[in-house]
Structure 1
Amino acid sequence: MAQSRTDRIGTIFSRMTALVRADVLHPNNLPLWYEVYKTFPPKYEPKYNRKPPTTKIQNIFYQEDLIRAKFQNDISVPIIDMKSDDVTKTQIFYTLYECLLQGGVEKEEAYEKAMISYKSIFKTYKSKKSHKSTKQSEP
């Protein structure tokens, strides 16, 4: 099968410019990004044969992300509706945890106390660890 290699000839911007110059594409039908790209071109033109940068990308982890990940690992939380403005159960847990930390409690102890408070607020919780042990014990 023969495939087109036109994507290696130039950038999408240069090809769109060529279409406008050749009167194939009317200037009123240009995509929105075209004028932005024309006004603010990138520092290095994105060509196919350009070598990728060798700079090391730094991992960004916030302390709250680690606590939330640990919480999500310990407790089975229902699916979150991203369109809803309601406070999530994970956010409630993190707020409890932050309040305990501000009260001068150690991190591990604050996590345990926040977990106990969370479980008392939401009495019907399901621990992921208990699901695994019950599934294994069933015949």
Structure 2
Amino acid sequence: MAHSRLEKIGTIYTRITGLIKSGAMKLEERPLWYEVYQAYPPQQEPRFDRPVVETTIKPIFYPEDVVRAKFYKKMNYLPSVNLCNRKDHTLSQKCINLCLQIQKEKGISLDDAFDEAFDKLKVELSEGVQSESKEADSSVIKPLDIPSILKDT
């Protein structure tokens, strides 16, 4: 198989070097990376049979990332977001800010602070939806008076 042959015969550098030495490839036809590889060879030769180095993966998550992930996992409905309005934060950002504030004030764990912040946001969201629906029911849409609009211009 070409795949196993590719890995076991040698590195791509040794194969290109062999082609140049044998005359199968002209020196002018060598790849662009060939001279860079010659000038700066790797510290360890890249071979298939070299054992993999054991490295630990560093945690890269910020507390905000954990809170945001929990929020989206727990939240069933997300209201629409006006992207033109930069002053209002998204619901997830409000949850993060509230969670971190509760954690700082009360000195509790992030999980407990998240549960408390999420419950507060749920209440605010349900009250906000109810008040918006009442406002929408009570407001009457008036038709535009086009002649008066055109007079002003």
TM-score by length of 1: 0.51
Q: 1:92 to 1:26 in 2, by over 3 A?
A: farther
Are residues 1:7 and 2:7 paired? yes
1:88 deviates by 6.0
Q: Deviations over 1:57-96 (max 9, x none)?
A: 3462646244334333312477xxxxxxx87654442222
The separation in 2 between residues aligned to 1:15 and 1:48, in whole angstroms, is 15
1:106 to 97, 105, 108: 108
- The percent of aligned pairs where both chains have the same amino acid is 26
1:35 deviates by 6.3
Q: 1:18 to 1:75 in 2, by over 3 A?
A: farther
1:115 deviates by 0.6
- 2:121 equivalent in structure 1: 118
Q: 1:38 to 1:63 in 2, by over 3 A?
A: same
Confirm or deny: 8 A CA contact 1:19 1:25 kept in the other structure: no
Asked which structure has the greater RCO (Cα within 8 Å, sep 6+), the reply is: 1
Confirm or deny: 8 A CA contact 1:97 1:110 kept in the other structure: yes
Instruction: Report the count of equivalent residues.
Output: 111
Are residues 1:94 and 2:96 paired? yes
- Which letter does structure 2 place at the counterpart of 1:111? F
Q: Identify which range, 43-52 or 18-27, moves more after superposition.
A: 18-27
Q: 1:77 to 1:25 in 2, by over 3 A?
A: farther
Helix, strand or coil at the partner of 2:119: helix
Q: Deviations over 1:77-118 (max 9, x none)?
A: 77xxxxxxx876544422221122222342244212321343
Give RMSD over aligned pairs: 3.9
| Higher share of residues assigned helix | 2
Correspondences of 1:1-139 after superposition (within 5 Å): 3-4=1-2, 5-17=5-17, 22-23=25-26, 26=29, 30=32, 37-38=37-38, 40-53=40-53, 55=54, 57-58=56-57, 60=59, 62=61, 64=63, 65-76=65-76, 89-107=91-109, 108-119=111-122, 120-121=124-125
Q: 1:48 to 1:72 in 2, by over 3 A?
A: same
Helix, strand or coil at the partner of 1:73: helix
- Which letter does structure 2 place at the counterpart of 1:43? Q
Q: Which protein has the larger Cα radius of gyration, Structure 1 or Structure 2?
A: 2
The separation in 1 between residues aligned to 2:29 and 2:35, in whole angstroms, is 14
Unaligned runs of 5+ in 2: 79-85, 130-153
